[in-house]
Amino acid sequence: MIPDTATANADVRVRRVADFDVIERAFRAGVSRSHLVPDTKVEATFERRRPPLEATDRSRALARKAQAVYAELGKELGVDDSSKGAGTDAAFAALSGKPAVVENFGLQGFNYHSSEAEFVELDSIEPRLYLLARMIMEASRE
């Protein structure tokens, strides 16, 4: 039995914004080659909803500044500027090219965005608030 209509959805994440172009071309080519059922019509849409946050020279410099501020407390701030292939709200700000955008300097914890019990490490609150305040002070001087 062939239904009157059918719908399929997929969520694709990329490491670079430019990767969306490659995936969309492959997707559209695959759809055009895969018309398996005679007398049917396939309509394909491709939406770019969640861009990845790509590191820039400015964001790397800002991260190094944050590491220096955190070191004042005798703490180490890990920085990973490799794209993880996930979408993030911060990437929308970064796409404009104007601000230097960094992410993941908030409170430490585990199970963010999960159905598990989320938690925040209480000992991370004070140092991370210090980092935020100092970063705002540093930015206002520039």
d(CA 3, CA 31): 19
b (16+ CB within 10 A) / e for 81-92: eebeeebbebbe
- The pLDDT tens digits of the residues spanning 72-103 come to 999 999 888 776 666 778 888 888 877 888 88
The pLDDT assigned to 75 comes to: 93
The closest of 57, 41, 45, 35 to 102, measured between CA atoms, is: 57
* pLDDT, tens only, 28-75: 888 888 777 778 888 888 888 888 888 888 889 999 999 999 999 999
What whole-number distance in Å separates Cα of residue 47 and Cα of residue 7? Answer: 15
Domain ranges of the chain: 1-49, 57-141
What CA–CA distance (Å, rounded) separates 87 from 63? 20
Please tell me whether the overall predicted TM-score, pTM, comes out greater than 0.85 for this model. Answer: no
pLDDT digits (tens, 9 = 90+) for 110-124: 887 778 888 889 999
8 A C-beta contact, residue 14 and residue 23 = yes
70-110-65 Cα angle (round to 5): 20
Residue 53 and residue 82: Cα distance in Å, rounded?
9
